[in-house]
Structure 1
């Protein structure tokens, strides 16, 4: 029942600015810990990166076990609500749609807050695609994966997932500084997201009115550069009738990535972003229903 309450609280309140302006968000605290380990241990070797990962996972386990041992369920409920990110995801994606209705320039500014690619040359459809891709990928990373690991291993499982995911987002890059040091965090993040990414695709496919065959989703997911992120995108694209992924630029370098759902429309717009948000809420509602059934059982 703690998970059910946490999901509902997150959906209602999201991340209240008045609170996080006064105290650091748990994700910010996790980021600071990762940064300190990066500064202290990063000698550009896999061994150092593995040590950092062991420290992070061990600390998350200890904190999670201590908090889970507190009387009642409210520690789990409150921490769970803080570390789920459904409402904030919806709000960020909605801002892109709203901004894009004003101008392409406004849309670029809004989508820059949720994607890591170059936005300066993006046209309107590229901005909309970026928002939709972020919606699909972050439904997996920010909602379904935390829910999954909370269900499997309680608060310790949730905290381990979040600290690993945070580490991957900070040091899991193929750069000279992080290719070796961030290797362990990136690989462990892939492992922890393997099942949730496919569950997310299944959820989107289930709630969508317009469906691709599951075989097409598997084939399209394999086109993606990530072993996991391609799955929710491969389900979202045909559900909206649009193409996702495709060519884009990172740090001034053009990347000719293949299209996901290549036969879909290339002219995605703010209305498609709105429809993607509708699918996010439907997938959330189905997840909540499953969590209620599990709690009752």
Structure 2
């Protein structure tokens, strides 16, 4: 029942500003810790080994902390921590904000989408803004909702905290850049490992609530994506909405010629397509909530 209640609480309250302007969000604390490790240890020789040892320490600490919290006499702490570390409502709000901004102007849309993606946004047209928002919605549904819920169901608070510290580390240092390719290697690989099942589960859930395409199409096209895991929810979203996702985009002023997923789908996208993606987010969350209730009953 803890998973069910945590999902309900997150979807109801989201990220209340009155709280997180007064105390630091756990994800912020994780980010500060990882940033400190990056500054202290990402230098000199043996960067890959140092990065591995840092991740081993972070994961061990997160697992131990989760176990200690789980030993508290009340289950209320489990529900609250789970709700804080899920991101359904905040994800839907951030993606919806892009649609609202895009209705005002392309410039407003660019500014809004720059808050949730890492690619260059200054030259995006309307379709590129919408496509970026929808891709972010699909990927973060897996990373921010389905995966943490899955690992909580499997491993309780230790599983949840291990996943969150790993995913946060990957988002900060898991890049193939000169600075982080070696030091962040362990974070990126461990994050890939922890997301193998949740990413594919997310794809099946998106397919189930949209039901517009043969599942085999998603299975065949997911590997076209540059990420071994993000391609699954994105392919499911692309086929579920019958739109083309991924494709060429710019990072740090350099065009990357990535292939499209569902290239035969609609290419001219707008704010209404973002709205449809947000509807899919909530339908998928609803299916996940049914699973959570079933788990608690069993």
Aligned residue pairs total: 296
The equivalences for 1:198-217 within 5 A come to: 198-210=200-212, 212-217=213-218
C-alpha distance in 1 between matches for 2:154 and 2:74: 19
Aligned to 1:58: 60
Misfit runs of 4+, over 6 Å: none
Deviations 1:234-263 (A, max 9, x none): 000111111000110000000111000000
Find out whether 1:117 has 2:119 as its counterpart: yes
Counterpart of 2:91? 89
Match of 2:13 in 1: 13
Mean Cα displacement is larger for which, 142-151 or 212-221?
Answer: 212-221
Q: Residue 25 of structure 1 aligns with which residue?
A: 25
Q: Provide the C-alpha distance between the structure 2 equivalents of 1:98 and 1:276, rounded to a whole number of angstroms.
A: 14
> 2 CA distance for matches of 1:166 and 1:276?
24
Match of 1:246 in 2: 247
Please give the secondary structure, in 1, of the residue aligned with 2:237. helix
Runs of 5+ consecutive residues of structure 1 not aligned to the other structure:
none
Q: Distance in 1 between matches of 2:182 and 2:257?
A: 26
Distance 2:242 2:190 in 1: 33
Aligned mates of 1:41, 1:117 — CA distance in 2: 27
- TM-score of the superposition, structure 2-length normalised? 0.98
Alignment deviations for residues 9-58 of structure 1 (CA, whole Å, 9 cap, x no partner): 00000000010000000000000111111122213611000000011001
Shift of 1:2: 1.1
Which runs of structure 2 are paired with 1:60-209 in the superposition (5 Å)?
Answer: 60-209=62-211
Q: Please say if 1:49 is aligned against 2:56.
A: no
SS of 1:254's partner is strand
Moved more, 159-168 or 172-181: 172-181
Partners of 1:180 and 1:123 in 2: CA distance = 35
Structure 2 segments unaligned to the other structure (5+ residues): none
